[in-house]
Amino acid sequence: MAPAMVNSMSNELRQRAIRLLARREHTRVELARKLAAHGTAEEIGAVLGELQASHLQSDSRFAESYVRSHATRLGASRLRQTLKTKGVTGELIEAQLAQGALPDELERARAVWRRKFSAVPGDAKEWARQARFLQGRGFASDIIRRLLKEPMEVTDE
C-alpha cells in the first residue's frame, strides 16, 4: 500500500477514535474493539498508542470516571466486574476502589435499598426479593444480611 494511503487510513482511525472519546471516556480495549472493523491491528495499536501518549485516552481516567459515576448505585463487586469486562487491569481497579472517595459499602447499600423499597421485609419471600435486588447491584452477602437484618439502624439524615 502506498504511504499516503496508510497515512490517510491512520488519520481516519485517529479521527474516529477522537470522536468516540469526545462522547465519553473509553478504555484502550473498548476503543480497539470499536475500531476493529476500520483498520488492521497494527494501525489500531499505533493510533491507540499515540492517543495514550498524548493523554487523550487513559484507562486510569476511565476507571476513575466510571467509579465516581456508578458507585452510588452499585456495590464493589459489580464495579470490579464491569471494569474488568471493559479491559481495566486488576491493579488499576483495586487502586480506584481503595481511594477512599467512596462512601462505606454498607451506607451505599442502604441508600440503594431506601430508594427501591419503602418497608423492611415482612416475610422470607420479601427478604429474598430484596436480597436478590441488592445482590444484583453487586453488594456482598454479608453487607446484604447486615442491612436487611437491621435496615433502619442508621443516623437520621
Task: Examine the domain organization and report whether 11 and 44 are in the same domain.
Answer: yes
Q: Is residue 44 part of a domain?
A: yes
Comparing CA positions, the residue from 70, 72, 64, 73 lying closest to residue 93 is 64
Q: What is the pTM of this model?
A: 0.80
For the segment 59-103, what is each residue's pLDDT rounded down to a tens digit? 999 999 999 899 889 999 999 999 999 999 999 999 988 875 677
Q: Is residue 154 part of a domain?
A: no
The pLDDT of residue 5 is 44
Task: Examine the domain organization and report whether 52 and 8 are in the same domain.
Answer: yes
Per-residue pLDDT of the chain (157 residues; tens, 9 = 90+): 444 444 667 889 999 999 999 999 999 999 999 999 998 999 999 999 999 999 999 999 999 999 989 988 999 999 999 999 999 999 999 998 887 567 788 999 999 999 999 788 889 999 999 999 999 999 999 999 999 987 554 444 4
The pLDDT of residue 99 is 77
- Quote the number of domains for the chain: 3
What domain range includes position 131? 105-149
Q: Is residue 15 part of a domain?
A: yes
Task: Examine the domain organization and report whether 114 and 140 are in the same domain.
Answer: yes
